[in-house]
Chains A and B, each alone.
Chain A
Amino acid sequence: MTGSGIDALGVLAEPLRRRLYDYVAGHGGEVSRAEAAEAVGARRNLAAFHLDKLVEAGLLEVSRRKVSGREGPGSGRPAKVYRRSGREHAVHLPPRDYGGAAALLAEAVERAGAEEALYAAAREEGERRGAARAGTAATEADLARVLERYGYEPAPVPPGDRAARSAGCPDAADPPAHRPMPAAACPVLRLRNCPFDAVARSHPPVACGMNLELLRGLLRGAGADSFRADMAPAVEGCCVLISAVAPDSKTNSD
Chain B
Amino acid sequence: MSDHWLAQLNVGVLKAPLDDPSMAEFASLLDPVNALAESSPGFVWRYTDEGSNDATAARPFGGDILVNFSVWRDRESLWNFTYRSDHLDLLRRRRTWFTRMSDMHLAMWWIPAGHIPTLDEARRRLERLRADGPTAAAFTFTTSFPPPEAAGAPEPAAPPRH
Binding site for B on A (CB under 8 A): 111-113, 115-116, 177-180, 202, 204-205, 208-209, 212, 231-235, 239, 254
Contacts and interface: CB of A to CB of B under 8 A. Distances in A.
A233 B83 contact: yes
Interface in B127-162: 142
A235 B88 contact: no
Given A178-B33, A202-B142, A233 B100 contact: no
A178 B88 contact: no
Contact of A204 (B33, B36, B88): B88
A105 to B, nearest CB: 16
Interface of B is mostly: helix
B95 A115 contact: yes
A204 B85 CA distance: 11
Interface in B96-119: 100, 102
Contact of B86 (A179, A209, A212): A179
Nearest to A230: B89
A208 B85 CA distance: 12
Contacts, number: 49
A240 to B, nearest CB: 10
8 contacts: A113-B100, A178-B32, A204-B82, A205-B91, A231-B86, A233-B85, A234-B84, A235-B80
Contacts of A111: 102
A234 to B, nearest CB: 6
Contact of B92 (A202, A231, A234): A231
Contacts of B33: 178
A113 to B, nearest CB: 3
B36 to A, nearest CB: 5
B83 A204 contact: yes
B35 interface: yes
B59 interface: no
Contact of A231 (B32, B89, B100, B142): B89
B124 interface: no
A179 B95 CA distance: 21
Contacts of B86: 178-180, 231-233
Interface string B43-82: 0000000000000000000000000000000000000101
Given A232-B86, A233-B85, A235-B84, A254 B93 contact: yes
A231 B95 contact: no
A233 B36 CA distance: 13
Contacts of B88: 204-205, 208, 231, 233, 239
Nearest to B99: A113
Residue of B88, B92, B142 with most partner-chain A CB within 10 A? B92
10 smallest CB-CB distances across A and B, nearest first, come from A113-B100, A204-B83, A209-B92, A205-B91, A231-B89, A178-B36, A233-B84, A178-B32, A233-B88, A205-B92
B94 interface: yes
A231 to B, nearest CB: 4
Contacts of A179: 86
Given A178-B33, A233-B88, A239-B88, 20 more contacts: A112-B100, A113-B95, A115-B92, A115-B95, A177-B35, A178-B36, A179-B86, A204-B82, A204-B83, A205-B83, A205-B88, A205-B91, A208-B83, A209-B92, A209-B93, A212-B92, A232-B86, A233-B83, A235-B80, A254-B93
